[in-house]
Amino acid sequence: MRRKDFLKTGGLLIASSLFNNCRGKVKKEKEYETGKGSLKVSTIIYELQLRQAWTLSRGTWNTRRNVLVRLEKDGIVAYGESAPIPRYNESAESNREFIHRALPVLEKDLWEYQDRWRELESLSPGQNAAKAALDMAILDWVGKSLRIPLYRFFGLDRNRTLPTTFSIGIDTVEIMQKTAESAPAFRRLKIKAGVADDKKHIEGLRQVTDRPLVVDANEGWKDRQQALEMINWMAERGVEFVEQPMPADNLEDHRWLKERVKIPIIADESVHKIQDVPALASAFHGLNIKLMKCGGLQEALRLAAVARAHDLKLMIGCMIESSLAIAAAATLTPLFDYADLDGNILINNDPFRGLTLEGDRWLLPDKPGLGVEPVIPEW
Ligand SMILES: [Mg+2]
């Protein structure tokens, strides 16, 4: 059915309302109900509030706006989340627009989830965070319909989830030191870099901790000589690997770097789709796969399989996300070497509950689907 016909016959309901809850303002933007079957889909743009300003080499944020999706079909309620990535021309609005455009796909049989994903992918290129939200909701729905947790659906052992790193954004040395000291349970810290004071930050952190560090330059080093010098300097200070040293498109200089560095380099911003993997394998030692970048759980699994075939190390990462999307990614960690899934720890108004930390490892809920539930009133 075309979108115009869908809107005509679907009984479009716009219920725009503002309400407050104890965790901050939530804008409930629109609700759509279809007249067909028992499908109801609603979306909320939810403002996640960061505990402290979040600075990377490309900017500073105090809040992030994610889209939460509620999908109800045949009496089963499932959830998905998108964390739009501005670097790839995504916003909460563009993600939500994609989700609403995808309603005819959701009207079809959700048990055929692989076909549904291909149909979402063919709706338009990009908007991968929105595709991830829908893929998440569909698989949450499948797990709940089968009454099994999603880790069981994927055949994974919930006792083998990986410890997550804890991320420290770029700040003054003193604040970075305090942040490191505030998270003693995390055995590995991830330090954001790619700015002029990188060495000062690492030296400052080494005064307060001897834990292994991993460094994420977020494309911040512009020159391969600079990147090589920084990485090998860091290797001597207990840094285990460095993520995305230089701009994503510059595979040639990453290839040059790969032959010379003392510790592995991991691609992040360079990674999107399966088709990217062969070229990336020549330029990096591993990949950071994120649901929001690749378009969801199904695509992350395919990407991981192809990356393994190219002998690459695998890391699963996240954006600033609630416990919902973190639970989805944590489900897959038994298939990975490293996990960087701390987006929900960095916020103070998590709209979902049910995922708990044991030390630095996520305990997957033993409930059907993703096993987390919303704490947003009236949703
Ligand atoms: Mg990164």
CA of 279 to the centre of ligand 1 (A): 19
CA of 132 to the centre of ligand 1 (A): 18
CA of 5 to the centre of ligand 1 (A): 42
- 59-107 pLDDT, tens digit each: 888 999 999 999 999 999 999 999 999 989 999 999 999 999 999 999 9
Per-residue model confidence (pLDDT) at position 35: 47
Per-residue model confidence (pLDDT) at position 29: 57
CA of 170 to the centre of ligand 1 (A): 13
CA of 307 to the centre of ligand 1 (A): 17
CA of 353 to the centre of ligand 1 (A): 25
Per-residue model confidence (pLDDT) at position 16: 26
CA of 190 to the centre of ligand 1 (A): 10
CA of 30 to the centre of ligand 1 (A): 32
- The confidence band for 54, taking pLDDT boundaries of 50, 70 and 90, is confident
pLDDT above 60: residue 211: yes
Domain ranges (residues) in the chain: 3-147, 153-374
CA of 269 to the centre of ligand 1 (A): 7
- 271-295 pLDDT, tens digit each: 988 999 999 999 999 999 999 999 9
Per-residue model confidence (pLDDT) at position 56: 81
In CATH terms, 3-147 corresponds, of 3.30.390.10, 3.40.1550.10, 3.40.50.10470, 2.60.40.1930, to: 3.30.390.10
Domain 153-374: assigned CATH number: 3.20.20.120
Per-residue model confidence (pLDDT) at position 212: 97
Beta bridge partners of 80: 69
CA of 3 to the centre of ligand 1 (A): 36
CA of 221 to the centre of ligand 1 (A): 13
CA atoms 244, 250, 251, 256: torsion sign: negative
CA of 300 to the centre of ligand 1 (A): 16
- 217-259 pLDDT, tens digit each: 999 998 999 999 999 999 999 999 999 999 999 999 999 999 9
CA of 298 to the centre of ligand 1 (A): 21
Q: For residues 137 and 69, what is the distance between their CA atoms, to the nearest angstrom?
A: 7
CA of 167 to the centre of ligand 1 (A): 10
Strand 286-290, strand 76-82: pairing: unpaired
CA of 193 to the centre of ligand 1 (A): 10
Report every protein residue that has its C-beta within 5 angstroms of ion ligand 1: 216, 243, 268
pLDDT above 50: residue 15: no
**More confident: 267 or 4:** 267
Whether 46 contacts 24, CB under 8 Å: no
Per-residue model confidence (pLDDT) at position 52: 86
Beta bridge partners of 26: 19, 46
CA of 32 to the centre of ligand 1 (A): 35
- % residues pLDDT > 90 (the chain): 85
Beta bridge partners of 347: 50
pLDDT above 70: residue 19: no
Whether 67 contacts 85, CB under 8 Å: no
